Amino acid sequence: MLPRFFASLTTSRSSISSYLGQICHQPSNPYQKYLRHIYDDILSPYGKVHSVRVPFHEHKEMEISDYFSALGYVLTYTTATASFTQLLHRLSQYAEWCRVSSAVLETNTPTVVQMLFQVPSEPDLIANARYGYGPSKLKFSLASSVSAGKGGGREDVRENRIRTLESVWSHPLVYPTPVQQAHASAGIGFERNGSRVEPSAELFGTPWGHCGEGVSFPSMHQSISLGRPLGTLALSVKAMTCVIPGTDTIPVCAIPALTSLTDIVEILKVAGAMRPMCLNCLYLRNTAGGSIQDHAVKFSAFEDTNIG
Ligand SMILES: [Zn+2]
């Protein structure tokens, strides 16, 4: 278990880098070679290379090109085994690491952190709800939406993610994206008579490569296309790291102490932290024929007594 280091850290660039350096250089970790690569080239204060290729589950050469994706990779591969409840702890921790890191790096926080995971079996979910930890060892991938960070700018990171997606997605991406098409249909960015306000204006709406799914979906592309049961959950970093209005609770501070799935979901609901998949990510899921279940939708529909 990783220490709750970041939450109590008196933050500085060197102290965060020192901590990440330690966990990326654990000799016992079978992914040490790649974690060191990620650390040396992206996370360390002296990293100069802004894009590295590392295996990420089912993708043999995932291109990681921004600090926050690198953080997600490190958290994924320094968690040896995890039950479903522990995965939610990791996702919450990832949100906090993004907040602290962005403050230290003086850059924008990614708005959303996201996790793709093997869906636990029903008996495991029930065990989680009652006891906090089921017996399963679930595969998962953490990634965030694109934020302007160290290395290339937003466009570079998105382009890298698009290349990664296109290397494994058999169905072509469409332009404008489904989100941009929806905005255009709603008249956003257009005059009332349908003509563009400015022909050169950037299309409104989310472009390809922006969402964390641009990393996590390729990381399990075989499982997706084979229709294996997978789940996704995306959380707002801001909602997770700020006090819930009318309470003294900060979700990322409260969740590590919770072992009940029911209690964790209740905090996520009250905080308004869960974000359903956008139209772009639904397009990716549907064109791959996958059966990825959006847990932002699933959890929001649960009654308090109906978890599991
Ligand atoms: Zn999306």
Residues within 5 Å of ion ligand 1 by Cβ?
211, 278, 280-281
| 3-state SS, residue 202 | coil
Give me the number of domains the chain comprises: 1
Is 183 domain-assigned? no
Residue 115: both structure tokens together: 């996790």
> Which of the residue ranges 116-130, 154-168, 269-283 would you say has the lowest mean pLDDT?
116-130
Whether 177 contacts 208, CB under 8 Å? yes
CA of 123 relative to ligand 1 center, distance in Å: 30
Which of 73, 93, 2 shows the shortest CA–CA distance to 33? 73
Q: Is the confidence at residue 207, as pLDDT, over 50? A: yes
Q: Is the confidence at residue 99, as pLDDT, over 60? A: yes
Q: Is the confidence at residue 49, as pLDDT, over 80? A: no
CA of 26 relative to ligand 1 center, distance in Å: 33
Is 238 domain-assigned? yes
Q: Judging by DSSP bridges, how do beta strands 52-56 and 59-64 pair with one another?
A: antiparallel
CA of 279 relative to ligand 1 center, distance in Å: 6
Is 198 domain-assigned? no
236: DSSP letter: E
Whether 211 contacts 179, CB under 8 Å? no
- Give the model's confidence band at 153: pLDDT under 50 very low, under 70 low, under 90 confident, else very high: confident
CA of 116 relative to ligand 1 center, distance in Å: 12
Whether 288 contacts 116, CB under 8 Å? no
Sequence letter at residue 180: Q
CA of 193 relative to ligand 1 center, distance in Å: 29
Q: What residue numbers bound the domain in which 123 lies? A: 8-173+208-301
Which of 139, 96, 146 shows the shortest CA–CA distance to 251? 96
CA of 281 relative to ligand 1 center, distance in Å: 4
- 3-state SS string for 48-98: CCCCEEEEECCEEEEEECCHHHHHHHHHHHCCCCCCHHHHHHHHHHHHHHH
Residue 302: both structure tokens together: 């649960």
Is 157 domain-assigned? yes
CA of 19 relative to ligand 1 center, distance in Å: 31
Residue 299: both structure tokens together: 């959890």
CA of 294 relative to ligand 1 center, distance in Å: 11
CA of 3 relative to ligand 1 center, distance in Å: 31
Mean pLDDT of the chain: 85
CA of 203 relative to ligand 1 center, distance in Å: 16
Condensed to tens digits (0 to 9), the pLDDT of residues 284-297 reads 999 998 789 999 99
Which of 73, 53, 35 shows the shortest CA–CA distance to 216? 73
Q: What is the spatial distance between Cα 98 and Cα 218, in angstroms, rounded to a whole number?
A: 22
Is 197 domain-assigned? no
CA of 214 relative to ligand 1 center, distance in Å: 8
CA of 236 relative to ligand 1 center, distance in Å: 13
Is 135 domain-assigned? yes
Q: What is the spatial distance between Cα 31 and Cα 237, in angstroms, rounded to a whole number?
A: 27
Q: Is the confidence at residue 2, as pLDDT, over 50? A: no
Is 161 domain-assigned? yes
Residue 127: both structure tokens together: 């065990």
Is 193 domain-assigned? no
